[in-house]
């Protein structure tokens, strides 16, 4: 990270672009204390020692030894790091010898790796060890439930893919399953197979099946139903006569489905329409 307070200052911007670019490269390769092997960076990037001298003269870099190990003066302005994540520089002693007044962040041991009586160094404490990982946060029951849901979802997908290869119909069936799930009425394997059989009786082609499904999705119906004009038409005498030919058992079955799936408003409407049918 680089602080805009530093790299957008007039002092920084007045330097040659090659020196500014070298500063960025040094910052990207510095350790947690802001120390970097400048010689390696010069070789890797093609920058020159003149570029490095400019940074030193402007007070952005301090060279620590003859091997061009360098310290980025404004390192803590650029970067903040948690003490329990900091790794001390291998050149820390050299840095403190050259610049004893430098303020360095003292690294701390992670809380879950502190030594405890009866435990060896580096072992996590508070029972968070190899034998207890995940017992509190991810239990066997939780893992089992996730596996069960994934298995159930893949089983439903398999039934759909076996039923049809029509991509649009597959998508619509999956949308229907999502709708059922949103209504807190997810489908079982058996329920899906029953629905597909019913769909076959209501439609003769994929386009009609998609229409039946989309109507149920839009109305949040838990099943699929015939077109409304099959039993909801005032002006079409032939359709009304066809309804009159229903047996009492068929009528009761149809009416039961309507009562179960439709809203109270629709129930009242359909009941009113059936009153004048002669059996």
Predicted confidence band of residue 133 (pLDDT cuts 50, 70, 90): very low
Percentage with pLDDT > 70 across the chain: 68
The answer to whether residues 93 and 35 belong to one domain is: yes
The pLDDT value recorded for residue 270 is 62
Domain count across the chain: 3
The pLDDT value recorded for residue 181 is: 86
Query: Please, which residues have CB within 8 angstroms of residue 258's CB and are 6 or more apart in sequence?
Result: 266, 267, 270
75 lies in the same domain as 92:
yes
**For residue 84, is it within any domain?**
yes
- Whether 67 and 46 map to the same domain: the answer is yes
> CA-CA distance, 38 to 45, in Å (whole number)?
10
List the domain range (segments joined by +) for residue 241: 226-279
Do 12 and 86 lie in one domain? The reply is: yes
What pTM value is reported for the model? 0.41
Q: What's the confidence (pLDDT) of residue 252? A: 72
Does a structural domain hold residue 47? yes
Asked if the structure places residue 147 within a domain, the reply is: no
Q: Which residues of 30-52 are buried (b: 16+ CB within 10 A; e: fewer)?
A: bbbbbbbbbeebbeebebeeebb
pLDDT computed for residue 104 by the predictor: 85
Which of 203, 235, 233 lies closest to 216, judged by CA?
Answer: 203
Higher pLDDT among residues 107 and 242, named by residue = 107
* The pLDDT value given to residue 243: 54
Q: Is residue 75 in a domain?
A: yes
Answer for the pair 37, 31: CB distance below 8 angstroms, yes or no: no
- Judge whether 60 and 35 are in contact, CB under 8 Å: no
Is residue 94 within 8 Å of 69, Cβ to Cβ?
A: yes
pLDDT band of 173, cuts 50, 70, 90: very high
For residue 126, is it within any domain? no
Same domain, 193 and 261: no
Q: Which has more confidence, 139 or 227? A: 227
Using one digit for the tens of pLDDT, what is the confidence trace for 7-57? 999 999 999 999 999 999 999 999 988 899 999 999 999 999 999 999 999
Task: Give Cβ neighbours of residue 80 (< 8 Å, ≥ 6 apart).
Answer: none
Whether residue 258 is found in the same domain as residue 218: no
Q: Is residue 159 domain-resident?
A: no
Q: Is the domain of 26 the same as that of 94? A: yes
14 and 87 within one domain: yes
pLDDT (mean) for 43-72: 92
**Pair 246, 180 in one domain:** no
- Are 34 and 106 in contact by the 8 Å Cβ rule? The answer is no
Residue 196 backbone phi and psi in degrees, to 5: -65, -35
Which residue has better confidence, 96 or 140?
96
Q: How far is residue 216's CA from residue 213's CA, in Å, rounded to a whole number?
A: 5
User: For the segment 198-239, what is each residue's pLDDT rounded down to a tens digit?
Assistant: 999 998 899 999 999 999 898 889 899 988 754 444 444 455
**110 touches 84 (CB < 8 A):** yes
Give the confidence band of 265 by pLDDT, cuts at 50, 70, 90. low
pLDDT in tens, 93-129: 888 888 888 888 887 776 666 555 444 444 444 444 4
> Residue 232: which residues within 8 A CB-CB, separation 6 or more?
270, 273
């Amino acid at each position: 990270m680089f602080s805009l307070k530093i790299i957008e200052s007039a002092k920084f911007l007045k330097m040659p672009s090659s020196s500014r670019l070298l500063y960025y490269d040094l910052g990207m390769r510095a350790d947690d204390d802001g120390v970097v092997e400048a010689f390696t960076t010069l070789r890797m990037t093609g920058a020159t020692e003149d570029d490095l001298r400019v940074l030193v003269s402007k007070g952005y870099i301090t060279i620590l030894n003859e091997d061009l190990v360098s310290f980025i003066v404004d390192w803590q302005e650029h970067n903040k790091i948690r003490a329990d994540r900091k790794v001390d520089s291998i050149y820390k002693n050299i840095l403190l010898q050259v610049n004893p007044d430098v303020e360095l962040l003292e690294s701390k041991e992670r809380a879950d790796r502190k030594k405890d009586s009866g435990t060896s160094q580096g072992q996590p404490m508070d029972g968070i060890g190899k034998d207890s990982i995940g017992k509190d946060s991810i239990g066997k029951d939780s893992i089992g439930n996730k596996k069960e849901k994934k298995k159930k979802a893949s089983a439903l997908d398999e039934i759909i893919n076996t039923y049809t290869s029509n991509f649009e119909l597959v998508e619509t069936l999956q949308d229907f399953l999502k709708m059922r799930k949103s209504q807190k009425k997810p489908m079982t394997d058996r329920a899906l197979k029953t629905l597909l059989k019913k769909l076959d009786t209501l439609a003769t082609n994929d386009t009609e099946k998609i229409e039946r499904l989309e109507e149920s999705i839009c109305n949040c119906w838990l099943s699929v139903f015939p077109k409304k004009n099959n039993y909801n038409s005032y002006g079409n005498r032939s359709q009304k006569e066809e309804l009159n030919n229903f047996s009492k058992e068929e009528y009761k079955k149809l009416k039961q489905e309507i009562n179960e799936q439709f809203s109270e408003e629709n129930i009242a409407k359909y009941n009113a329409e059936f009153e004048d049918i002669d059996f």
